[in-house]
Every structure is written in C-alpha cells, then in structure tokens.
Amino acid sequence: MRCALCIDKQCTQGRDCTNIADNITYKGKDYKSMKISSQIESRYYMEKTRIEEVVLYAKKMNYKKLGIAFCIGLENEANIVHNILSKEFDVYSVCCKVCGTSKDEYDLDKFHDKGFEVTCNPKAQAMVLNNNKTDLNIQLGLCIGHDILFNNNSNAPVTVLVVKDRMLAHNPLGAIYSGYYLKNRFNL
C-alpha cells in the first residue's frame, strides 16, 4: 500500500483496495472507541481543541484515571494540562527524568563530554503510570524513540497531545507547510 501517493482515493467512495475489510470487526472497547471518536468528529468538527477532545473522549469512555508522560522541557505546559484535566479526572503525571538515572549507566551520548547527565526514562514513565492503573495515558512532548518506548510499555491506551519538535515549536507539520523547508531541506 502507498495510500499517500494515491490520487483518486476511491476508498472514500467505499472501494476496498486491500481485500481485508471482511476480516476486520470492531467489538467491545474497540467498537466503543470508534463510536465515540465518530461522535466527537461529527458533532464538534472545527469547534473543539485537542485538549477538549481528549476530555470528551475520556469522559465518554468512562475513564477515571488519566496519566501524563511529559518531557521536562514542557513542564509548564504539563502543569497546565494536569490542572485542566484534574477538574474532571484523577490525574497522574510523570516527568521524563524520573528515577534520575545517569546516562553513564547505559553508555549514552551526552550534551557535554564531562559531568553527570540524567537520561530520559520512558520505560519508567510507563511503569509509574501502569502502577497507578491509569485508564488513558497522554504523551506530552516525548523525544523520538522515547515516545515509542513509552507506547510499547504502557498498559493503558496512549494518545498524543504534543509531538516534540524543538525547531518548529512542537509543530512538525510546519516543515511541510513551509515552502522554504520543502524546497531547501527536502528537495521537493
């Protein structure tokens, strides 16, 4: 499949290009998630922010405990999101530097050649939220790779509120929307 390169997108008219549609069913929690997602999209299209959509989704899924796994570089934003969500839910948040583990312990690259540096610890972030038995975890600016490790180790489903992009104010699509970047960095 190379849907990104497809010009006519006949799937939007009901065509199955995959021949797998008959093998896919949504039941139980999956069905509930699809139904609620569709409700939010159809009822609030272009009316709600992502944070508001997360609140709506979590409430409709009857989630009580939400977890936030955040980058320490976004601690102020994490504090605000925590406070917003705490009005409706029991919220647990965990910083990427949890456990204070030295980069030397895993022979990881450092910003500075000498001295103590703490590594990010996405597996520990997941473990902390798993131990709190969160119903839904929210990523807030985890580094590439760390986000994958967090997702792989989270017992609860994960959604993303912020994607880390230090160059573009955490808006990775800014590079795609920029004619300069497309021409000079990506040669498109």
- Please count the other Cβ atoms lying within 10 Å of the Cβ belonging to residue 83: 10
Render pLDDT for 1-48 as a digit per residue (tens, 0 to 9): 898 999 999 899 988 989 899 899 999 999 999 999 999 999 999 999
Is the pLDDT confidence value at 168 over 90?
no
Give the span between the Cα atoms of 47 and 52, in whole angstroms: 9
| Residue 133, Ramachandran bin (φ over 0: left; ψ between -120 and 50: alpha; else beta) | left
The residue ranges of every structural domain in the chain are: 28-62, 65-188
Give the span between the Cα atoms of 156 and 89, in whole angstroms: 15
User: pLDDT grade, residue 67 (50/70/90)?
Assistant: very high
Give the span between the Cα atoms of 25 and 124, in whole angstroms: 34
Render pLDDT for 86-137 as a digit per residue (tens, 0 to 9): 999 999 999 999 999 988 899 988 988 778 999 999 999 999 999 999 999 9
Do the Cβ atoms of 128 and 92 come closer than 8 Å?
Answer: yes
Is the pLDDT confidence value at 152 over 80?
yes
Do the Cβ atoms of 96 and 142 come closer than 8 Å?
Answer: yes
**Domain 65-188 has what CATH class?**
alpha beta
**Angle made by CA atoms 170, 173, 174, in degrees to the nearest 5:** 75
